[in-house]
Structure 1
């Protein structure tokens, strides 16, 4: 069995082999490699895993009878350090795979002559720079894989890749060293899958993703993000299904970002796991059309719950007098007819896009509200911290009164009577111990108990 250590990567479950052992394995297989004939047809040339150096690669390319007819060339997992001149003769290439080599430079000969390329895979090399003029020479490129390299920045010219659908700058097997994404990425209208995981991103600009109508997945996991801009990040991303922000240092989710995410009708997964989040808006956790993953955050850690409750944004004795602007905006939001919306100025229309609904009275509010913290279980996480926002003082007071009444009712319940009711239910349904019905009843009882504990905690907290 050959140990898989290509590109310095080891797989889980595969035993580590020292360098001298790898060398001995390679030398013992050298005869096998020399006996393998390169696969070659008029449209396909397969040169992968042959231990080719740059000069060997050049020799193989020169053996092609009709290089302009070759459409698919795979020379991955070799020892190529530089791309040879004969490669520019393969002008009909639509797919080129050079992954897991030691290439450090993307030469002009590659992109100035191979203008028909649609798929270019350069993963697992030592590339440091994407040439600024490269996008203008490859207008048909649809997939570009550059994960596992040493790239530190992206040129502003990447916005010229109008047809690019897959842009991979990171993966489980390695990323790059990119610290920020240029705002010109918003011009890549055809982009469907963007992976910038395992990089060094520290910030995201407000307009980077806003104008990507075809984007389906944005992966920004395993970076160094601490905050997100308080602006609608995903304005026209109506097809967005996956947002992965896991394994960063994000300590809060701004209200406008949260509201923007809630408008994404096709979203299936929002991964916020392993960040520094202490509290999230309750409307984000209470929605039902997509899953929010929150494991590995302080908000799920019961040992730090008391500290989090003290730090949460809670209004002690709220009294909110709304401004005339807020009152006017709420009145317009209530009308919300197409005719009215077409007549109002653009700056007012922009404010109305930030409209939220009060959980108490179900009326709209825009900028002015009262916040309080709430404990509530979520997907198996007991007593998760949430932020609840009400449109004004009256709704907040009504919420507090309802919570206190519910807490009093729970305290008055006789535990013995609750146990007897549960036993009667089990006996009535003749459930066997360990059956599915028995397990479901136990889970329901545990959930009800957790809910009661949260209600009592919230009531004490708001006293």
Structure 2
């Protein structure tokens, strides 16, 4: 262990390196190291990091590889805004806190060899991220968020040896991407024959797939169209040349009732979902 009183006196420390020991915890007083830029606690028996680490706001590099970490402090991304490198590989992390998407200075995120089941959404906020490694989470990680393809500074992406079947189409938009590692995944899209060609082939395949989906969007029918189709409103159409009543959204209610009248028990039923979306003759007596 490291005595609390010792750490509290190291106010001018810039690099704190205690790797390859048998530490089971870090002192809470580590939060007093306001000038700390590099913290190396790798190769220990840590299961968590003290929440007070949030106070090390000058921290630029955190190395916690080869420990037994199961969680990271929930607010770590809200406070360590100068962090450029986060190395947490070879731990037991199941997820990354949502706050990690606020690490806007982060350039390297190494989270391989964990038990990650998913990545946070809103990764596009990591505007300076150049290297993302979430490989070898084996049977746990089976998908990537669409926002991975919005990491505009990304140069290297390693998702090898996971259970990923589909890469997000958005990856085709990563213009700076130079290295993509996807081996060891049961990929269906893009197929392995495309992956084996080149990175350019993969990006081209995903871009074409994304463009094809945008050109043939699914047709969503307006709920107003349903009202017109089923004759819920006894109004007449604004145009006499409308051939498809379902597509038209223009109608006029022929009579007006006061608010009190509409709110009375007699008329409340006419606004129920069953009344609105049922054929007109269903309620005809």
Distance in 2 (alpha carbons) for counterparts of 1:132 and 1:291: 45
2:26 aligns with 106
**Given the two structures, how large is their TM-score scaled by the length of structure 1?**
0.42
Q: Deviations over 1:12-34 (max 9, x none)?
A: xxxxxxxxxxxxxxxxxxxxxxx
Q: Deviations over 1:329-365 (max 9, x none)?
A: xxxxxxxxxxxxxxxxxxxxxxxx998445xxxx962
2:69 aligns with 151
Q: Deviations over 1:173-199 (max 9, x none)?
A: xx1110011221110000000001111
1:270 aligns with 180
8 Å contact from structure 2 (residues 82, 106) kept in 1? yes
Q: Deviations over 1:61-120 (max 9, x none)?
A: xxxxxxxxxxxxxxxxxxxx33462343221111111000011111122222x2100001
8 Å contact from structure 2 (residues 116, 141) kept in 1? no
CA RMSD of aligned residues (A): 3.0
Would the alpha carbon gap of residues 249 and 285 (structure 1) be closer, same or farther in structure 2, given more than 3 Å must change? closer
Corresponding position: 1:253 with 2:162? no
Question: Residue 240 of structure 1: which of 145, 151, 154 is its match?
Answer: 154
Runs of 4+ in structure 1 deviating by more than 6 angstroms, as ranges, are: none
Would the alpha carbon gap of residues 364 and 102 (structure 1) be closer, same or farther in structure 2, given more than 3 Å must change? closer
8 Å contact from structure 1 (residues 262, 284) kept in 2? no
1:157-172 aligned at under 5 Å gives the runs 157-159=75-77, 160-170=79-89
Question: Residue 130 of structure 2: which of 181, 199, 216 is its match?
Answer: 216
Q: Which runs of 5+ in 2 are unaligned?
A: 219-285
Distance in 2 (alpha carbons) for counterparts of 1:117 and 1:220: 27
Question: Residue 280 of structure 1: which of 180, 190, 194 is its match?
Answer: 190
Aligned length: 213
8 Å contact from structure 1 (residues 268, 290) kept in 2? no
Distance in 2 (alpha carbons) for counterparts of 1:289 and 1:274: 16
8 Å contact from structure 1 (residues 267, 290) kept in 2? no
8 Å contact from structure 2 (residues 101, 120) kept in 1? no
Q: Partner of 1:133: helix, strand, or coil?
A: helix
8 Å contact from structure 1 (residues 206, 229) kept in 2? no
Would the alpha carbon gap of residues 284 and 93 (structure 1) be closer, same or farther in structure 2, given more than 3 Å must change? farther
8 Å contact from structure 2 (residues 119, 145) kept in 1? no
Q: Which runs of 5+ in 1 are unaligned?
A: 1-80, 293-352, 369-463
1:434-453 aligned at under 5 Å gives the runs none
2:269 aligns with none
Distance in 2 (alpha carbons) for counterparts of 1:146 and 1:288: 34
Distance in 1 (alpha carbons) for counterparts of 2:116 and 2:100: 15
CA positional deviation for 1:247: 1.4
Question: Where is the helix percentage greater, Structure 1 or Structure 2?
Answer: 1
Question: Where is the strand percentage greater, Structure 1 or Structure 2?
Answer: 1
CA positional deviation for 1:210: 2.1
1:64 aligns with none
Distance in 1 (alpha carbons) for counterparts of 2:41 and 2:210: 46
Q: Which has the higher contact order (CA 8 A, sep 6+)?
A: 2
